[in-house]
Structure 1
């Protein structure tokens, strides 16, 4: 079971990291939606950092939760249209 948790944590960390790199702010700069996208991106990035911190502490449960929450922020932003994201592949559910 610990091996499954470690594998899943690794997978979700990669997913969040790749999704952060692939997402770009869609609305024009200076608009409220661009500000919202920046906040969503900041939350996702913060959860990536938090997850990595938890991993360093050997707390895989909280690391996995943080990576999952971070990806949820990006995926929600993609569904709202505040991020331009790849439509093909495994990074987003749009």
Structure 2
């Protein structure tokens, strides 16, 4: 059975919120990679904020998209080694 839009939006918001809390910068302070890692975290946080705004406006399609994009920033940062993330569990695919 396919998840309905409100349930899926809730699930992805929760996933992004939890993933943001678990991710940290792995690159050394002062390096361009550190700045790139911070950018990944900032983008993910911005998409979380945007998603919550869309949800408050009743726009669940764009809320879900924003939460998904936010998590993609974290997942990509983790895959290239910019972010330190847990390797077990459901938060990341690394």
Calculate the TM-score normalised by the size of structure 1: 0.96
Number of the residue aligned with 1:14: 14
Q: CA offsets, 1:47-77, max 9 Å, x none?
A: 0000000000010000000000000000000
C-alpha RMSD of the superposition: 0.8
Name the structure 2 match of 1:47. Answer: 47
Residue ranges of structure 2 left out of the alignment (5+ in a row): none
Q: Which has the higher helix share?
A: 1
Q: Please list the CA deviations of residues 5-37 of structure 1 after superposition, one character each: whole Å capped at 9, or x if unmatched.
A: 000000000000000000010011110100000
Instruction: Say whether residues 1:90 and 2:90 are aligned partners.
Output: yes
TM-score, length-normalised on structure 2? 0.96
Count, aligned residues: 92
Mapped partners of 1:36, 1:19: distance in 2: 18
Structure 1 unaligned runs (5+)?
Answer: none
